[in-house]
Structure 1
Amino acid sequence: MDTLGVLEARKRFPELLDRAHGGEETLISRYGHPVAALVPLWRRHRPQRQALIALKGSGRACWPDPLPPGQPWPIQPLEGAGALALGSAVAVDATVLIPYLRGDASSRQAEPMIAAIAAGRWRGVLSMATLMTLLEGPLRLGDEALAARYEAVFSDPAAWTLVSLTPQVALAAARLQRAMAPEVALELASALQGGATAMISQDPRLLAALPQPAPLP
């Protein structure tokens, strides 16, 4: 970690921002004493990130039956998506998060992806429909505390973009549902509105509507 005085840091501020985006930290000193640090945003909010990891298996009794195991589901790009760089926004739906919250064996494929969101490498994008589905599980059992825990973690702005059902999302979903089921259209419209460049899902209807990943070289 480099240490710079205030004047030097001010002169090199654009460079320091680029370095922070790349994962570096810079300590700022005044009169020889450290007073602040310029750090990557994704390294903040460590308790919230750990709370996301700690949710695994917390909803074991919330949903009556495990979801049927699906086929392997690689991250699917949305239109115009490139490589998933640091800070990329990735949409995640309930077909991925419910098995994770249940602790199902099928959730193992999701764990590295959720860990990447928890670590701040990627930003998760959630639709309001997905959040409602996640909250329905504990509320079905009358577990208000667990529902509040889910609401707090999945609405944490440090890790997630929660996409509201705005007129723009409704219009996009209405256009998309000419070719797909309404709930699938809403998920896809929310992902696009949230700036996602890729989506993680086990819903074959949704994956069929997305461009297929490019083959590995």
Structure 2
Amino acid sequence: METLGVLEARRRFPELLDRARGGEETLISRHGHPVAALVPLSRRHRPQRQALLSLKGSGRACWPEVPVQRAGRAGLVQSLGSGATLTLGAAVAIDATVLIAYLRGEASRRHEEPLIEAIAAGQWRGVLSMHTLMTLVQGPLRQGDGALAARYEAVFSDPAAWTLVSLTPQVALAAARLHGPDPASALESATALELAAALQGGATAMISRDPRLLAALPLPAHPLHPPLS
């Protein structure tokens, strides 16, 4: 790690930004004493992302009425576009069915836990709808556990790991189109909103335990898995 004085760091600031992007760190000193460090953003936010892993099993009593769905293609990551692939830094939408299972300690070790671990490691970026965030925070609030609700809010609104998609006019219109005019083939409103939020958030894939949501997505030739190697 190189150490520079304030004036030298100011003069070389564009260069130092490029070096930080490439993974290098620079220590900045004043009057010979270190006072700050210029580090890659991924390292700065690593402790915040890692806090996600500490939430596993924390909400066992928060959603007693929610059944654990295991039927169909539940728990698989499905592509949101034909031929889409998951690369380092790709955005993956996750709905409440998967995150509640994780918070209850009931997530699939084969499909869901590796995905969440990949987000905590910074390999993928999660996409959440505001409706999902509200559902996650409501669980501990119903149990009178405001401290746990605050932990959920802090972790799942961390901009280093998640993109939160609000119910904007664009999302509402997209959900209305997905809902469709034909009641026989229409998605339910909540399902349509989740899918619209995923698309608005730039997600490459969607992970859910909701068979209605997964059935609305194009099924790839092979399930997508987190790049944990």
For normalisation by structure 1, the TM-score amounts to: 0.82
* Structure 1, unpaired ranges of 5+: none
Post-superposition CA distance 1:75-97 (Å, at most 9, x none): 11112563211111110001100
Q: Deviations over 1:47-105 (max 9, x none)?
A: 21221100000000111144132345331111256321111111000110001000016
Q: Deviations over 1:124-146 (max 9, x none)?
A: 00001111111121111111111
> Is 2:135 aligned against 1:128?
no
Specify every segment of 5 or more residues in structure 2 that has no aligned partner in the other structure, as ranges.
Answer: 181-185, 224-229
C-alpha separation in 2, matches of 1:29 and 1:106: 42
1:184/1:12 CA distance change after superposition, 3 Å? same
In 2, the alpha carbon distance for the partners of 1:181 and 1:166 equals 18
In structure 2, relative to structure 1, the CA distance for the partners of 1:181 and 1:102 (3 Å cut) is same
Residues 153 and 29 of structure 1: CA distance in aligned 2, closer, same or farther (over 3 Å): closer
**1:95-127 alpha-carbon deviations (Å, 9 max, x no partner):** 100010000164653111001111111110000
Find the counterpart in structure 2 of residue 67 from structure 1. 68
Partner of 2:172: 170
Aligned position for 2:227: none
**Aligned partners of 2:112, 2:222: CA distance in 1, in Å?**
20
User: Is this contact kept in 1: 2:28–2:37, CA < 8 A?
Assistant: no
Partner of residue 202, structure 1: 209
- Residues paired across the two proteins, number: 209
Query: What displacement does 1:151 show?
Result: 0.8
Residue pair 2:69, 2:210 contacting (<8 A) in 1 also: no
Contact persistence 1:43–1:119 (CA under 8 A): no
TM-score by length of 2: 0.78
The CA deviation string for residues 168-207 of structure 1, in whole angstroms up to 9 with x for no partner, is: 1111101111131111100000001111111111111111
In structure 1, C-alpha distance between the alignment counterparts of 2:202 and 2:94, rounded to whole Å: 12
* Structure 1 counterpart of 2:158: 156
- Alignment map for 1:18-97 (pairs within 5 Å): 20=21, 24-28=22-26, 36-39=37-40, 41-65=41-65, 66-70=67-71, 71=73, 73-79=75-81, 82-97=84-99
**Runs of 4+ with >4 A deviation:** 1-14, 28-31, 33-38
The AA in structure 2 aligned to 1:46 is R
Counterparts of 1:11 and 1:136, CA distance in 2:
46
* 1:113 corresponds to: 115
- Residues 36 and 147 of structure 1, relative CA distance in 2, 3 Å threshold: closer
CA RMSD of aligned residues (A): 2.9
Secondary structure class of the residue paired with 1:26: coil
Q: Structure 1 residues 57, 183: CA separation in 2 closer, same or farther (over 3 Å shift)?
A: same
Moved more, 170-179 or 72-81: 72-81
Structure 1 vs Structure 2: percent identity of aligned residues?
A: 65
Q: From the superposition, tell whether residues 50 and 77 of structure 1 become closer, same or farther in structure 2 (CA, over 3 Å).
A: same
